[in-house]
Amino acid sequence: MIRFSMALAGLLALALGACHTPAGPDYQHVSEPVYDWRLNRDGELVVRVPSNGCTTRDSFYTDVRGSGAQGWNFDVTLVRIHPDYCRALLPRGVELVWTRDDLGLPPGAGLRVTNPRSAPREG
């Protein structure tokens, strides 16, 4: 039974490892341009980002800076930590959503995205 469990754990590790797209040694985590951002009715941050088909929220680290001492205003920068090597044609990218809890922001706090904006690709 122990051998079976260890073999199953090894197969699971191989399968999960195949799903991960590692960044190459030369990949730099970058604050990349976003197409657009807004706050929805629930106060969630909605950001349209470039994608080749594999971009998710997990593709980014959210760098949140600010505090109550600054009038409850926060700057949010999305830093891509996993490149998207897929090949789908998504000229308008994808929309990703972060709640205030996801970002560690108090209700009613002001925020802005500091990433530069760029126009979506022609498709």
Please state the domain extents for the chain: 25-113
Strand 36-39 and strand 45-49: the pairing is: antiparallel
pLDDT at 22: 46
Share of the chain above pLDDT 70, in %: 72
Confidence of residue 70 (pLDDT cuts 50, 70, 90): low
The pLDDT of residue 121: 76
Whether the Cβ atoms of residue 119 and residue 85 lie closer than 8 Å to each other: no
Please state, rounded to an integer, the average pLDDT across all residues of the chain.
80
Question: Largest Cα–Cα distance of the chain, in whole Å?
Answer: 60
Q: Which whole number is the average pLDDT over 62-86?
A: 89
| pLDDT value of position 28 | 62
